[in-house]
Amino acid sequence: MKRPRPESSDALALFGVTGDLAHRMIFPALYELAKRGALAVPIVGVAYSHWDLARLRRRVEDAVARFAGGALDRPALRRLLGLLRYVDGDYHDPDTFQALKHALAPARRPTHYLAIPPSLFATVIAGLGAAGLAGGARVVVEKPFGRDLDSARRLNEIARSTFPDDSIFRIDHYLGKEAIMNILYFRFANSFLEPVWNRDRVASVQLTLSERFGVAGRGSFYETAGCLRDVVQNHLFQIVALLAMEPPARRGFGAVHAEKVKVFQAMRPLQPGDLVRGQYEGYREEPGVAKDSDVETFCALRLHIDSWRWAGVPWYLRSGKRLASTAAEILVELKPPPQRLFADSAPAAGRPNYLRFRLSPGHAIALAARVKRVGEAFVGLQRELFLLDKQPGEEPPYARLLADALAGRGALFTRADAVEAAWAVLDPALKRHGPARPYRPGSWGPRQADELIAPHGAWHNPAPSGDGPRR
């Protein structure tokens, strides 16, 4: 029996409307939807900042001017500004939710977006339930969803006690990126990949998500999160799941979600020896950062997936701030040929064949293969077969995910069991780990990260332009 199509929301309540996330990401996304004529519901901003509607509109105008890109579409901006409402109040005060209820009337199916610190998720969800604002509604929760396994379970229980499962949208903007969605498509739309996509042919997998900038004035937030909670448990693990999952048994994102959960369940819990934590020099001088902080701004980890396909293949994940470049790349390194016919095809001659996914900046897929040099000698060199995937009209991830949440489409959002299974992998390392090692800004992190990967070679350092490999 076919499931009925969900009804679209008739209002958006945006908690944390005066915050940095709303300014940098959500307002430009709403403007994008307004440009496409895909936004016609009232938007009620909620915050405890002693603002008024006029100041909120100025904030939206500033966000569009600074972050939206392209020529300004003034009619779209006017439409967006005309949809705005504002409620100022403390999230712990029941009167705030009554004021929101009044501002949302006569909406019957609002979407509540929690662009607020994770410590306030449970408070706001409980407030929505107590005010009768959960019936027929949806809730969108930003990452990180919980701080560890226990807190994620508690938050899931609170959310499920107020909203039905299919009305809870755990958002990770990485899942809305075109390059990430292309991993799923590339894997299962092409037949040539499957014979080599296993432990018999793959030597190791690397994933790097690097940023040249620091905490950018968000020191107080980063002190509560750190690199492991901020990007590994969500962004990087989601990418690993797409790379490592089995083919879904049927079409549909329900089957995709089920296979991704199996990957998390097959991951070996992270041990202290599998993790290197780092902190860039100068982090402790950032506003809001403790002078003796041990929070990691960099992490490198060795991951094992104990499945039939991936047993024995190490996965190396690395992320950090104030690194040499801002980029995201995957390197799937293949095993050398079983017999050495040519001396220069040995592993010692350089990096073996590999498949490289460039996720940002830009999208690219490259396959490295050896070709013979001109002459009588059987001597070659490695070249990349390079596919640059530039397509006009790419939809910003937050715009895509906001549109999906308002329409009730849950395909690109994370399920509760996936969140908990991912935390279960990370949990031991959150409780027991070594100190954060200092590293120089502009480097690729502490030397211990190189020692971690040394048994299987060296890190692939993404080139800033994305045009080719850099070792």
363 catalytic per annotation: no
**Two tokens, residue 234:** 């969500």
Q: What is the DSSP letter of 383?
A: E
The sign of the dihedral angle between the CA atoms of 218, 222, 227, 230 is negative
Whether 447 and 432 have beta carbons less than 8 Å apart is answered as: no
Residues near 53 by beta carbon (within 8 Å), at least 6 away in sequence: 84, 85, 86
Please tell me the distance from the alpha carbon of residue 105 to that of residue 26, in angstroms, as a whole number.
Answer: 23
Please tell me the distance from the alpha carbon of residue 57 to that of residue 225, in angstroms, as a whole number.
Answer: 31
Produce one character per residue of 391-407: b if its CB has 16 or more CB atoms within 10 Å, e if not.
eeeebbbbbbbbbbbbb
Length of the chain: 471
Per the DSSP assignment, residues forming a β-bridge with 140 are 113, 169
**Two tokens, residue 460:** 């692939």
3-state secondary structure of 203: strand
3-state secondary structure of 271: coil
Catalytic residue, from 112, 235, 304, 363: name it.
235
Side-by-side strand order, sheet with 168-170: 84-88, 43-47, 11-15, 110-114, 138-141, 168-170
Please tell me the distance from the alpha carbon of residue 183 to that of residue 258, in angstroms, as a whole number.
Answer: 17
Please tell me the distance from the alpha carbon of residue 20 to that of residue 280, in angstroms, as a whole number.
Answer: 23
Residues near 94 by beta carbon (within 8 Å), at least 6 away in sequence: 127, 130, 131
**Two tokens, residue 137:** 């509604």
Please tell me the distance from the alpha carbon of residue 142 to that of residue 136, in angstroms, as a whole number.
Answer: 20
Residues involved in catalysis: 235
